[in-house]
Each structure stands twice: as C-alpha cells, then as structure tokens.
Amino acid sequence: METDETWTSDEYGRSHEGRAGVLLDDGTTPKPVYFDSASGSTGWEVRHWSVYDGAGTYQPRPKAHALQAECSCGWTGTGRTIDWTTAGDLPFHESGLPTAEQCEEDWDTHLRDIAGTTVPLPVELEALFQTVTAAIEDLAQDSPTAAIKAARTLDLIAQRTAHWPAHDARDQDPRTVATDLGLSVDATRSLLARFGGWHPHG
C-alpha cells in the first residue's frame, strides 16, 4: 500500500492532482519509503514529503534537499530548498510545512494558468451560474429537499443540453477538446461518454 497527500480541485479532479514532491541534493527523486508494520508481516510505502528526513539508524531514510509542486498532468514547479539549519529539534513534518505550503501555492497558480487556457464562457452565463448557486444555497437553509430537487433539475438540464454537443465534440481532436475543458484526455472521454450516453471505452 502506498500513502501520500495530494491536492485536488472540484473543477479538474484527478486531471490536475497535485502534491509536494521531493528532490535530493543530486536533483533526483527518491523512491517511496517502506515502513514495516508492527507485526513485521506486511508494510506500506509512503511518498509524503515529511518522511524524507534522513532519520533512521540501520537504514537511514533519504534526506530532502528541496520540495517542488508536482501535478498529475506532468507539470512541476520550482524547487524550494529546505532550510535544515533553522529546523532545530522540530520534526520535519513541522519544520518543512511552510515549504510544502509554498508548493501548494505554486500548484494553485498552475491551476489558474490552466483555467486561462480553457474555452471561455460568456460573462452572462457565468453570472447566471453564480446567481443560481447562491439561490440554491439559500434555499437549502429553508428546505433541504427543495435544494436537492433544484440540484436534480440542474443535473437533468445538463444531461439534455450536453447530449448532442458531446457527440459533436467526440468527432474533434481529443487533445483539443481536453485542453478546452482543462482535463486529461481520459477524463474528457469519460465526460463526453456520460453526457453522450455511450460506454466510455466504446
């Protein structure tokens, strides 16, 4: 089992899943660190940046030289050097946290850049979405079931209005459509299949 901490957004999901990656002093990326279970029969691999602290008696763990934001799309941010001299007795998951947070900010900037490459929506439609969202949130305060009904109505509208556009988009270059939506090609195929009513692997 491999454990890690990742960042995702509602808009892009796993198409742009971010994490704080580790760089060693030679610029390479270390392998996951393996930890034995208490029984010793099984174990797990951990990629979280905080385990790369150079600790360990018999098999010292790799020591991070820098952290950098990474995204599942292949983008990587600037390497941010770890200041071990000011860490003192603090464990790495505390002393390195400000650097990891900088990496998350880098990833946030990356998402804003992605948003700038997607196909723009009319300003009037964007404003309408915001108005509808606020109206449903207000409705939920008085009647949760009414808010659910409103959300279901929006879902039905999406299915009806996106059916034929999904078929038209299916005939276009998948990479172009994916860029317009800010998604991976696989995620785009799944989305088109859901709206178009065909099997995603068909």
pTM above 0.85, yes or no: yes
pLDDT number for residue 57: 66
Shared domain check, 130 and 111: no
Domain-ending residue, one of 90, 117, 144: 117
Instruction: Decide if 38 contacts 29 (C-beta within 8 A).
Output: no
Residue 124 sits at φ, ψ, to 5 deg, of -65, -40
Range of the domain at 42: 2-117
- C-alpha–C-alpha distance, residues 25 and 192, integer Å: 44
**How many domains does the structure of the chain reveal?**
2
pLDDT number for residue 87: 82
Residue 201 lies in a domain: no
Instruction: Decide if 175 contacts 187 (C-beta within 8 A).
Output: no
pLDDT number for residue 39: 59
Shared domain check, 163 and 129: yes
Q: What is the pLDDT of residues 133-156, one digit of tens each?
A: 999 999 999 999 999 999 999 999
β partners of residue 171: none
Shared domain check, 133 and 171: yes
pLDDT number for residue 81: 97
Shared domain check, 99 and 27: yes
CA-only gyration radius of the chain, Å: 22
Domain-ending residue, one of 96, 117, 138: 117
Shared domain check, 148 and 49: no
* pLDDT tens-place values along the chain, 202 residues long: 556 799 999 999 999 999 999 999 999 999 999 887 665 567 788 999 999 999 876 778 999 999 999 999 999 999 999 999 988 889 999 999 999 999 999 999 999 999 999 999 999 999 999 999 999 999 999 999 999 999 999 999 999 999 999 999 999 999 999 999 999 999 999 999 999 999 877 6
Shared domain check, 108 and 134: no
pLDDT number for residue 199: 86
